[in-house]
Amino acid sequence: MDLWDAHAAARLAQRSTGRLEPPSRMEWTQRPGIGPGAEILGEDLTGRRIVELGCGAGHNTAHLAAAGAAVVGVDRSAGQIRRAAAHYGHTRAQFLHASATLHLRREATRLDAIVSVFGAIGTTEPSRVLRACFRRLARQGVLAFCLPHPQRTGAFPLSPRNRDTVTLPDGTTGTVTRWDVDPAAWARALNRAGLLVTGVHNLHAPADAHWPTTLLITARKP
């Protein structure tokens, strides 16, 4: 079974009911209340067309839908999509089982924003997914993504491509390939894709962490 399918199945088994109400805040770190919320996508999200790449359990997709956006959560794990639908299928949020890059390439509707929260950006080869984001964004469209900070252990990694260990709810472990790229390298990759960097946030979660734990970057299509 796929790692994320196994993770989703274990999480659903822990709940007597899957139904949840959308969170009141969009989170960019694994600790609530740290850093900005959905306002970095724009003050009024009503009617904004947004896609979340790697939506997982659907929490942020559901929040954006509750804020009035026309939002689709995409995930390559069928288990995670079942989990998201179990949690938020009663809301305006939509969930789709698909590869992030293929979904961006095969659809034509221009998007006002694309988000990835520890999702497809960072676990997919950067140049391909960023070019696909550029293609789908409307002019002045926003890209916002976060990933584990490459300096989270105190030093930047020697290799930009690394494998992280993920612990499942039952205690078993698996590995995920991540692109641990420093902020300057992300900026160059975004520029090569045609996108302009508008913000780089080095977030500490928990707040007293010695080194930044989450890298949050925003960019815009000119």
Q: How confident is the model at residue 163 (pLDDT cuts 50, 70, 90)?
A: confident
| Mean pLDDT value across residues 154-179 | 75
- Whether residue 138 is predicted with pLDDT greater than 70 in this model: the reply is yes
> Mean pLDDT highest for which of 7-16, 44-53, 162-171?
44-53
Q: Which amino acid is at 77?
A: S
Task: Please tell me whether residue 81 adopts helix, strand or coil conformation.
Answer: helix
Strands (E), 83-211: 94-97, 111-117, 137-148, 161-167, 173-179, 196-203
Q: How confident is the model at residue 18 (pLDDT cuts 50, 70, 90)?
A: confident
Q: Hey, what domains does the chain have and what are their CATH numbers?
A: 3-14+45-220 (3.40.50.150)
Q: Give the pLDDT confidence score for residue 165 in this predicted structure.
A: 72
Strands (E), 76-184: 94-97, 111-117, 137-148, 161-167, 173-179
Q: Give the pLDDT confidence score for residue 11 in this predicted structure.
A: 66
Q: What is the CA radius of gyration of the chain?
A: 17
Q: Give the pLDDT confidence score for residue 196 in this predicted structure.
A: 98
What is the pTM (predicted TM-score) of this model?
Answer: 0.91
Q: How confident is the model at residue 6 (pLDDT cuts 50, 70, 90)?
A: low
Nearest CA among 142, 148, 78, 72 for reference residue 104: 72
- Whether residue 176 is predicted with pLDDT greater than 80 in this model: the reply is no
- Whether residue 166 is predicted with pLDDT greater than 80 in this model: the reply is no
Rounded CA-CA distance 44/62 in Å is: 16
DSSP string, 52-75: EES-TT-HHHHHHHHTT-EEEEEE
pLDDT in tens, 27-42: 999 999 999 999 999 9
